[in-house]
Amino acid sequence: MEFRQIQYFMEVAKREHVTEAALELHVAQSAVSRQIFNLEKELGVDLFIREGRNVKLTRIGQMFLEHMEQAMKVIEGAQREIEEYLDPLKGTIRIGFPSSLASYTLPTTISAFREHYPLVKFQLKQESYRNLIDGVNNGEFDMALIGPVPKQEKKLVGTTLFTERIVSLLPLSHPLADRSSIKLSQLRDESFVLFPKDFILREIIVHACEQLGFQPKVSFEGEDIDSIKGLVAAGLGVTLIPEITLVEGFPRSTVKIPIIEPEVTRTVGVIIPKERKMLPTVKLFYEFLKDFFAMLDQYQR
């Protein structure tokens, strides 16, 4: 079994089309077909079902693909580790992050880091809370910024970088818009704009309301912070939102008001795999993250 055969197999499996795979690989279609044939002959099984010009994986082909994807991650990790040990200041860091940290926290941190290490490269991907955890577990990410920091994940190490307030965002025309602070119970009868079910920020808000004996009435849902802000600005409801998402300002026709009784907060931090060794460049950024936010905390105090 040759490395080239695996590459060709994975590209054909991804595209389900031999010609398209050949174009992506910049080789002749006949070369791809020949390598797939040789691989199937060596394994003694059919990996694909041919359907005209298209192909689909057989059940065994799907099983083989899953193993090869894991093997390729190991190979890529080994290549990266060698490259970074040769020069840890030029490595690549793969980071997952949620939408709530996309506009300020992540850009600010990376910008500060690159002032010291300008040649380090980043691969960034926005994901949901559960996908961030799974991505670090399965090796898709070296680390993930996340909020709140999970406590029950046995294969992960979670480090809290800071704790932030969840504040209310109201339309400017709202009767409570002139208050310096409001009690969460004062929003009992309001229409809420929240993330869809299964989003962690929605769970935080719903739990806070339940502690006061009511369920928030959700009139509209938005899958990202900006759409939720926009719906509130349009006067379609109120929301509770991480304060950090409003650092760069908030939409016209809205007002930010702190929540008291109870104060609603979430932890924000970073997760890394417990049993997988960090590459030198990743470790460099991880230590920088902890020092950066510790310094910010001292400054704010």
What is the tens place of the pLDDT at every residue in 183-219? Answer: 999 999 999 999 998 899 999 999 999 999 999 999 9
Between 51 and 167, residue with greater pLDDT: 167
What CA dihedral angle connects 292, 147, 144 and 10, to 10 degrees? Answer: -160
Regarding whether 278 and 262 lie in a shared domain, the answer is no
Regarding whether 72 and 216 lie in a shared domain, the answer is no
* Strand bridging mode 217-221 / 239-242: unpaired
CATH code assigned at 47: 1.10.10.10
pLDDT of 120 above 80: yes
What is the tens place of the pLDDT at every residue in 151-183? Answer: 889 999 999 999 999 999 999 999 999 999 999
By the 10 Å C-beta count (0-12 exposed, 13-18 middle, 19+ buried), 267 is classed as: middle
Q: Which domain holds residue 275?
A: 84-160+268-300
Q: Report the distance separating Cα 179 and Cα 182, nearest Å.
A: 7
34: its two tokens: 């020949």
C-alpha distances in Å from residue 50, one per residue of 24, 53, 58: 20, 7, 10
CATH code assigned at 118: 3.40.190.10
What is the tens place of the pLDDT at every residue in 236-258? Answer: 999 999 998 888 777 889 999 99
- Residue 167 pairs with which residues in a beta bridge? 241
Q: pTM of this prediction?
A: 0.73
In this prediction, residues 97-116 reach a mean pLDDT of: 92
197: its two tokens: 């079910």
Regarding whether 35 and 173 lie in a shared domain, the answer is no
Beta carbons of 169 and 245 less than 8 angstroms apart = no
Confidence band for 232, pLDDT divided at 50, 70 and 90: very high
- Is the alpha carbon torsion for 204, 208, 210, 211 positive or negative? positive
Q: Report the distance separating Cα 124 and Cα 126, nearest Å.
A: 7
pLDDT of 301 above 60: no
